[in-house]
Structure 1
Amino acid sequence: MKIFKKYYRIMMVLPIFLVTACAGDFLEETPKASLTPENFYQSANDLELAQAALSWKLNGAFNTVSGLYYGADDLTSKRLGNKIEFSDFDVFNANSSNGRMTAWWNSFYGAIKAANTLIANYENATEASEEQRNNAAGHAYFIRAISYFYLTRTWGEVPMPIEAIVDLERPNAKVEDIYALIVDDLKKSEAMLPDHWSGKAHQNGVDIFPTNGSAKALLANVYLTMAGWPLNQVDKYALAAQKAKEVIDNKDTWGYKLQANFEDIWMIDNKENSEAVFACYYNNTVSEWNWENGTMMGPNPFAPSEEGGWEDGYGEITFYNNFPDGPRKEATYQEAYYKGNDPDDVISWQETAASHPFFLKYRDDYSYDWSTHTPNNWWGSMTTFIIRYPEVLLTYAEAQAMASGPDATTYDAINQVRQRAGLADLEQGLSQTDFVDAVIMERGWEFAAEVGIRWFDLIRTETVAKANSQRAISEVSLLGEPSDVNHTYYWAPLPEIK
C-alpha cells in the first residue's frame, strides 16, 4: 500500500529523534518493494518507524505561521502583499480559499491517517513486546486526539474518519461526537503510553514522543474546552481540574517544571526543556531536505523589515500596552531594533515601518546573529511548544475555580506563573468571576502568539467580540463583525481542498 511506502520514505529522511540512526539499517529490515500492512507491522523497529511518521506528519502543522489565530487580540499583521491572508483572519474577512489555513487541515488529516493505520495494525507486531505494542498504539491515539482537537476547535463540524483510508467526502461529524472520540482516545493513550521513552525518543532528559503525562495534560485542556462554548458542559470543569491536578501532583514523574527564566524557554540551546509537556521538534540539518524536518516559525516571520524580517505578524498595541512589565514581557517582545542590522543605529518599535512591537520568543536559532539581529537562514530547528507546563497550572487554576470557587490551591497555581513572570501574587479574596478573568488574562500574556492558545481561549469563553472591541484605532479596521451572541466568525470557513 502506498501509505506504507510513504512511511518508509519518511524514515529515510528522519525526524529529529531519529537523525542519529542509519537509514541503511532500516532498508535491511524490510525491503521497500514489499511493504504491506501484513509484513510491515512485525517488529519493535517497525513500530518505531510508524511512530516517527506520526510525529513527522504533525510537525507539518506547526512549522509555519498559521493565519487561523490572528482573530485574537494578541497578534496582527499588515494588510499588504502576501500578508493579506493573515490579515483576513485578523479583520474577520477570511474565505474558504485562504491558503494560510490549509497547512493545518492537510497536516492534521495526514497525521490522522497515519494514526488510524497504526491503530489498525499495531497488534500484528508479534515480534514486539506487548508493552511496545501498547506504547505505539498510545502514541497513535494521542496524535489522533490532538489532531481532531485542533480541527474541531478551528472548523467545528469536520469529517471524522477512524479508518486507515481517509475519505474527506464523508459527511461532517457533530462537534459532540468529535469530542467523544477525543476523550476516548486520550483515555486510551493515558493508559497505554509510558512515563518515559528511551533511546532517540528521549533527549537531554526530555521525552520527544508524548507520554502518559502529555495525555493527562491534553485531556485536562480538552475538558476545560468542553466546559465552554460550543458544548457548555460545565460538569467538565471538575474533570479538567482533576486531570490537571494529577499532572501537577506527579510532575516529578515526567520532570515537568517551570524554567527559572522565561527567556530560557526560547533559547535554541535549550530546545528540549522541562516545560515541554508536548512539543514538535525540528532539525534542519537532516541530510535529505524535507519540509517537516525543519521550521520556518523563526527567525524571519516575526522580525521587522528593518532587520531583514518578513513581518508576517507582530503584537497588537492594546494587548502590548496591557501586558504587565517584567522579564516575561521583555522576553516576549523585542524592545531594541537595529536598523539595517546596525547595532549602532537603534530604534524603538514605534519607529519601525510597522509601528508595532515585534515578538522575540521565536527569534533564536543556530543561524541567528544576536550581535546584529541578522536572520541568516529562514529554515530553522527551534521547537514549537504545543503544551507547556504553565498551561497545566493555569488550566487547573481556572477549572478548579469554576468547579468549586477559588481556593489556596488555585492561587498557588496561578502565582507560580506570575512569580516567574516577575509579578506580585494575585490579590487574595477575588470573586469567582474576577479570579477566572485574571487566570484567562494570565494565559494570554504567558502564551502570546503561541499555537492559537489565546484565540481558542476567546472562543470557548465567548469573548471574541469583546476582546476585539478594545482594538487600537491605529490597527487595521475590522471588515467583519464578530458576535459573542451569535458566534459569528468563531469558526473558520472550511477550506477548498483540491
Structure 2
Amino acid sequence: MKNIKIYKHASLAILSAFLIFATVGCKKLIDDTPPAELIGDDLIFDTKDSLGVNAEKFLNNIYADLPRGFNRINVSSQALFSITANVGNMLEAGSDDAVPNAITDQVQYFSTDGISASVNPDNTWNANYAGIRKVNIFLSKIDRVPLFTKGLKDRWKAEARALRAMFYFELLKRWGGIPLIGDKVFATSEQINLPRNSYAEVQAYILSELDAAMPYLLTANASSNGTFAANNYGRFGRGAAMAIKSRLLLYAASPLNNATNDLSKWSAAAVAAKAVIDSVSAGKFIYALHNTASTAHYSTTTLAGVTTTANLSAYVTSVNKFLSIFSTASNNEIILPYMSATNTSVETNNDPVGYTRAGAGKTNPTQELVDEYEMTNGKMIGETGSGYLATNPYYDRDPRFPSTIIYNGLYWLNRPVQTYDGGLDRPFGYGLRNSGETRTGYYLRKFMTSNSSATSFTATNHIFPIFRYAEILLNYAEAQNEAVGPDNTVYSAINAIRARAGMPNLPAGLSQTDMRTRIRHERRVEMAFEEQRFWDIRRWKIAENVLNGTLHGIKGTLSGSAVNYQTVDVIPVKFNAGKMYRYPIPFNELVSNPSMTQNPNW
C-alpha cells in the first residue's frame, strides 16, 4: 500500500517559525534506526545525478509534513514517526463529537476555553512553516539536478508548490491572515520581521500557486503517459490540488469568513467542487465513492440483531462498504491520503480497554454524535414514526453508526462490547474514573480493523483521507445550496453519498434552510473523525452554540440480561465566541517577530 517512501530529516531542528538546520539526514519513516550519514545540499541536489535520487528523497520528506490525522494531538516530536506508540488524541475530541478518556488531556482545552498563546495542543505553526521552508529550499536548488526524464523536474516543482499551498491553508484555517514569505529561504542569522498578510491575500496566494502547479501535476487515471500509475498513489496530483481549492473556497464562503454572505463566494466554491465532479464524469479522473465491501469487517452473524432480519444482509454490506474506504489500499475514493506503513497505532490508541491486548480507548464519542445518526428509514430518532426505542437505542440505525462508534453490544473481535457499568470495557462505571476507560459509554470504531485476535494486533492498512471524493460532493452540495438553493444537483450529490451508505434519498421539496440542515447533518455523520467537524463548527460559526453547556454520554445498568440506559452529563463545555474562532498567535512568534500582531481578544 505504501507507494511513496516518506523520509524524515533526522538532523532538522526548527530554530524559529521559518528556520531549520541546513544539513539533512534522510531515512525511511518506518525505519527507527539512526541515519548512517548526514547528507549536505551538494549531495542532495547533485549536479551529476540524472536520476535525482536524493532530490526525490528530499521532496518525499516534505510529504511527511502533510496533516497526518488519527491520534496526532499531544504527540511528542520523538513519537511522530512511531507506528505503534500510544501517543495522542483525535482532534475531534476537542469538538462536540467526542471527549478524550483522560480528563487531563489537553485536547479538551478547545472545548473548555483552555487554550492560550502559550498552550495550544494543535500548534502547527512551526511545523507548517518548516514545511514551507523545505519547499523553498527544494525550489531554489532543484535546477542544479540534471534530471534525465523529460517533464519530471516540472512535475516535482509543481508537487512542491502544491504542498506549500497546503501548508499555507493549514495555517490560514487556524490563525487567519499569516505572513507570506514567497520563495525566500531565510538564513539562520537573519532577523524575522514580517507583518501578517490579510486572509484575502493568503487565499489569493494559495489559489495562484495551485493554478500555476496544476498543468504539470499528474492526473488520476491509472495509465501511462503522464498520468497516475499505481506507484504514484499518494503523490500530489491535479485532483488533490483541485480538492484544496474546493475546500479553501468553501471555507472562504462560510459565515466565519463571509460576514455579508456574498453569494459570489458560494458560487466560486460550487464551481471549484463541480470542476472535480465534471472531471470524473469526463473520465479525466477515476475518483468515485468506494462502493465495494472489499474487506469483510462484519458478517450477518456478528451483526445479527442490529436490524431486521429481512434487511440484515444489505445492512452488513453497507457497513463493510463504508469501513472498507479506510482499510483498502489505493482505493479510488481517496484523492490524497496520508501515507504510512501498515501499523497497529489506531487500534492501540482507540481499542476498548477490556481486551487483553490492552487498547487505550482514547477517543470517546459523545451522545450528541450518537443521536445524530438516523434510523434506517431516514428519520431522526426524535421524529414521529422513526421507530426508535430508548430501551433498544442502537437498533436499526444508519449503517454508518456501527461503522463509526463502538457501543454496548456491538460485536468486536470475539465478543459483544460491554460498556455498561461494571462491564469488561467500563469496569468502574460512569463518573468513577477520570482516565483508563470510556467517559461517555462509547469508543471509536471508524478506521479500526477487526482482522486481529482478542489478544494481539496485526499491522494493517490505516488510510487517513486528507481529501476524499465524498467531501467533494458535500462541498458542492453545500456551496450550490447557498448560492442558488436546493436544485437537482444538490439532491444528486447528497443522495449519492446516502445510497452508498444504504440510506434512503432525501425527501423532495426541501427549503434552502432545511437543505442546509440536512447537508450539515450528512457531513457530520459521513466525515466523523476525519478532522472536519472541528473546523465545520468554526467556519459555520456555530461553535458558540454547540460548545456552550454540557456534553453527554450514556450510563448503562445491567439488570438480569437486559441493560437499562440513561443519558448522563460528561463534561461542561465553554466556547468564547469573542476570540476562539481563531487560534491565538503563538507567544514565541509575538516575541521573536516585532511586526507580528495577535488575534483579537487573545
Same fold (TM over 0.5): yes
Aligned residue in 1 for 2:348 = 300
Alignment CA distance shift 1:389-1:150 (3 Å): same
Alignment CA distance shift 1:50-1:420 (3 Å): same
* SS of match in other structure, 2:505: coil
Aligned residue in 1 for 2:167 = 147
**1:299 positional shift:** 1.4
Aligned residue in 2 for 1:246 = 275
TM-score by structure 1 length? Answer: 0.81
Among 561, 566, 569, which residue is 1:474 paired with?
569
1:318-357, aligned counterparts within 5 Å? 318-324=368-374, 325-335=397-407, 343=414, 346-348=417-419, 352=426, 353-354=437-438, 355-357=440-442
Aligned residue in 1 for 2:367 = 317
* SS of match in other structure, 1:305: coil
The Cα RMSD (Å) is 3.7
Q: Deviations over 1:319-339 (max 9, x none)?
A: 211222222111111235799
Point out where structure 2 has 5 or more consecutive residues left out of the alignment: 1-8, 13-19, 74-88, 292-320, 375-396, 427-436, 553-567, 590-602
* 2:499 counterpart of 1:441: no
Aligned residue in 1 for 2:247 = 221
1:35-434, aligned counterparts within 5 Å? 35=43, 39=47, 43-58=51-66, 64-65=72-73, 69-78=92-101, 80-81=103-104, 83=105, 85-98=106-119, 100-102=121-123, 104-129=124-149, 131-165=151-185, 170-196=194-220, 204=230, 207-232=233-258, 234-251=263-280, 252-260=283-291, 261-267=321-327, 270-283=328-341, 296=345, 298-307=346-355, 308-324=358-374, 325-335=397-407, 343=414, 346-348=417-419, 352=426, 353-354=437-438, 355-364=440-449, 370-372=452-454, 374=455, 376=457, 382-434=462-514
TM-score by structure 2 length? Answer: 0.68
* SS of match in other structure, 1:425: coil
**1:295 positional shift:** 8.3
* 2:577 counterpart of 1:492: no
* SS of match in other structure, 2:64: helix
Amino acid at match of 1:475: V
Q: Deviations over 1:364-397 (max 9, x none)?
A: 2xxx76442x5648x9752211111100011111
Alignment CA distance shift 1:494-1:6 (3 Å): same
Q: Distance in 2 between matches of 1:58 and 1:276?
A: 15
Alignment CA distance shift 1:155-1:300 (3 Å): farther
**1:475 positional shift:** 2.3
Q: Deviations over 1:134-155 (max 9, x none)?
A: 2112111211111111212112
* Structure with max Cα Rg: 2
Alignment CA distance shift 1:465-1:326 (3 Å): same
Q: Distance in 2 between matches of 1:86 and 1:46?
A: 38
**1:56 positional shift:** 2.1
Please tell me whether the aligned partners of residues 69 and 89 of structure 1 are also in contact (alpha carbons under 8 angstroms). no
Q: Deviations over 1:263-307 (max 9, x none)?
A: 11122xx132111111111016xxxxxxxxx784x1133333323
* SS of match in other structure, 2:284: helix
Aligned residue in 1 for 2:76 = none
Alignment CA distance shift 1:117-1:170 (3 Å): same
Q: Deviations over 1:384-421 (max 9, x none)?
A: 11111100011111111222222111111010111112
**1:101 positional shift:** 1.8
Structure with greater helix percent: 1
Q: Deviations over 1:49-95 (max 9, x none)?
A: 232122123266767246655442212224534x2x01212322122
Task: Pick which of 165-174 and 353-362 moved more.
Answer: 165-174
Instruction: Provide the aligned length of Structure 1 versus Structure 2.
Output: 461
Q: Distance in 1 between matches of 2:97 and 2:339?
A: 24
Please tell me whether the aligned partners of residues 71 and 349 of structure 2 are also in contact (alpha carbons under 8 angstroms). no
**1:112 positional shift:** 1.4
Q: Deviations over 1:406-464 (max 9, x none)?
A: 211111101011111221111111111221221122111111111x2112111111111
* SS of match in other structure, 2:581: coil
Amino acid at match of 2:211: K
**1:122 positional shift:** 3.7
Q: Distance in 2 between matches of 1:77 and 1:250?
A: 40
Q: Distance in 1 between matches of 2:490 and 2:99?
A: 32
**1:46 positional shift:** 4.8
Aligned residue in 2 for 1:463 = 542
Please tell me whether the aligned partners of residues 44 and 54 of structure 2 are also in contact (alpha carbons under 8 angstroms). no
Q: Distance in 1 between matches of 2:286 and 2:138?
A: 28
Amino acid at match of 1:491: R
Alignment CA distance shift 1:134-1:467 (3 Å): same
Please tell me whether the aligned partners of residues 250 and 475 of structure 2 are also in contact (alpha carbons under 8 angstroms). yes
* SS of match in other structure, 1:474: strand
Q: Distance in 2 between matches of 1:255 and 1:389?
A: 10
Task: Pick which of 319-328 and 404-413 moved more.
Answer: 319-328
* SS of match in other structure, 1:137: helix
Please tell me whether the aligned partners of residues 15 and 52 of structure 1 are also in contact (alpha carbons under 8 angstroms). no
Please tell me whether the aligned partners of residues 77 and 87 of structure 1 are also in contact (alpha carbons under 8 angstroms). yes
